Amino acid sequence: MDGRLLVFSGNANVELASEIAADLNVNLGRALVGSFKNGETRVKIEDNVRGCDVFVVQPTCPPVNHHLMELLLMIDALRRASAARVTAVIPYYGYAKQEKKTAGREPISAKLVANLICTAGADRILTIDLHAPAIEGFFDVPVDHLQAAPLLAGYMSSLHIPDPVIVSPDAGGVGRANRFRERIGAGLAILAKQRPEPDTAEMLEMVGEVEGRTAIIVDDMISTGGTLIEAAAMLRERGAKEVYAVATHGVFSPDAVASIGQSRLVETIVTNTIPQHDNHQQARISVISVAPLFAEAIMRIHKDLSLSVLFS
């Protein structure tokens, strides 16, 4: 790709986009992203992008529909302005929990969103820790799927926790937890849960030994915090000395932070794929930046280099 590298941002996570641009040693592209008086989203690209290699940083985090529309309109505007290539950088992919039908007459929302992004004109997708890896196949363009595990595992290793055990909060996350376990050299435990209704989790049973050890719950996202709180309570009842939690995406519904602050979790570690507020520190929530990882991936995509080194 001979064109200049440009990075633009919607309003979803300007701070992360600015960090990425700074790591790339480029200025964040100028764009007007706002609303008309009638509430419709307004986008105008103010830099010349003709022939450029453009990256749009925009997680589709709450308010999801608004941020998704900003992303779609920015991609369309860039295509119509003759950008050579447009890569949608989506640190958090909204609607990812709806990647399959769980009952009759339900949509597969994750697939519909993928169709919208491709139709808008994205040539490539760069994301991290999709809720369901199968979502990669929903896109008709190349997808680079990064992992936050090396960053999160590095942080946990720096704490020098003796005899840790990695805990998967459900059967679906066993692979993720096992890869994390291999990175820091720890044991593995698995919790079984059921969801009697959306956003509600009940812990049923546990496989593995946690008595007298420090448990580290590994998940991809934290929404209501119910799963973590129930898991931490069960682990302490089973004799765990301390309980930590790590996750890539801190969605945090309105009551989640307060609930986590009152829980038995020693510390909860998330990344900045979604903007976090200062009051999270009161709930013992720590934030790790993924900006260097995305910056390296963007530079490698721009130069047509392999991204495999980022997964080691």
With cut-offs at 50, 70 and 90, classify the pLDDT of residue 202: low
- pTM, to two decimals: 0.94
**Unique residue bearing structure tokens 């700074």:** 22
Q: Domain of 79? A: 5-146+291-311
Q: In Å, what is the CA distance from 228 to each residue of 67, 85, 220, 286?
A: 27, 40, 12, 15
Residue 234 has pLDDT above 60, yes or no: yes
Residue 116 pLDDT > 70: yes
The yes-or-no verdict on residue 212 having pLDDT over 80 is: yes
Whether residues 59 and 192 fall in one domain: no
Q: Which amino acid is at 187?
A: G
- Residue 281 pLDDT: 81
Predicted local confidence at residue 195, as pLDDT = 62
Whether 65 and 190 share a structural domain: no
In the DSSP assignment, the letter for residue 281 is G
Are residue 122 and residue 253 in the same domain, yes or no?
no
Residue 1 has a pLDDT of: 46
Q: Which residues pair with 143 in a beta bridge?
A: 125
Per cent of the chain over pLDDT 90 is: 88
Mind listing the pLDDT tens digit for each residue in 55-71?
999 999 999 999 999 99
Any residues with CB less than 8 A from the CB of 101 and at least 6 apart, and which? 108
Catalytic residue numbers, as ranges? 193
Query: Does residue 172 share a domain with residue 135?
Result: no
In CATH, what number is assigned to the domain containing residue 197? 3.40.50.2020
Residue 196 pLDDT: 62
Question: Is there a single domain that holds both residue 142 and residue 261?
Answer: no
Q: How far is 225 from 204, CA to CA, in rounded Å?
A: 17
- Is residue 89 pLDDT above 60, yes or no? yes
Is pLDDT of 79 > 90? yes
Whether residue 123 sits in one domain with residue 76: yes
101 and 162 fall within a common domain: no
CB burial string 35-47: b at 16+ within 10 A, e below: eeeeeebebebee
Mean pLDDT of the chain, nearest integer? 94
Q: Which of 154-158, 191-195, 280-284 has the lowest mean pLDDT?
A: 191-195
In this prediction, residue 199 has a pLDDT band, given cuts at 50, 70 and 90, of low
Specify whether 157 is located in the same domain as 204.
Answer: yes
Cα separation, 5 vs 55, whole angstroms: 8
11 with 125, same domain?
Answer: yes
Do 34 and 46 belong to one domain? yes
Query: Residue 182 above 90 pLDDT?
Result: yes
Partner residues linked to 270 by β-bridges: 287
Tell me what pLDDT residue 197 has.
67
Does residue 161 sit in the same domain as residue 198? yes
Query: What is the average pLDDT across 20-28?
Result: 98
Read off φ and ψ for residue 125, nearest 5 degrees. -120, 135
Structure confidence at residue 171 (pLDDT): 83
Q: What is the DSSP letter of 124?
A: E
Q: How much is the pLDDT for 210?
A: 95
Residue 206 sits in the same domain as residue 224 = yes
Q: What is the pLDDT of residues 149-177, one digit of tens each?
A: 999 999 999 999 999 999 999 888 999 99
**What pLDDT band is residue 194 in, cutting at 50, 70 and 90?**
low
Q: How many domains are contained in the chain?
A: 2
Which secondary-structure segment (H or E) carries 292? Answer: helix 291-302
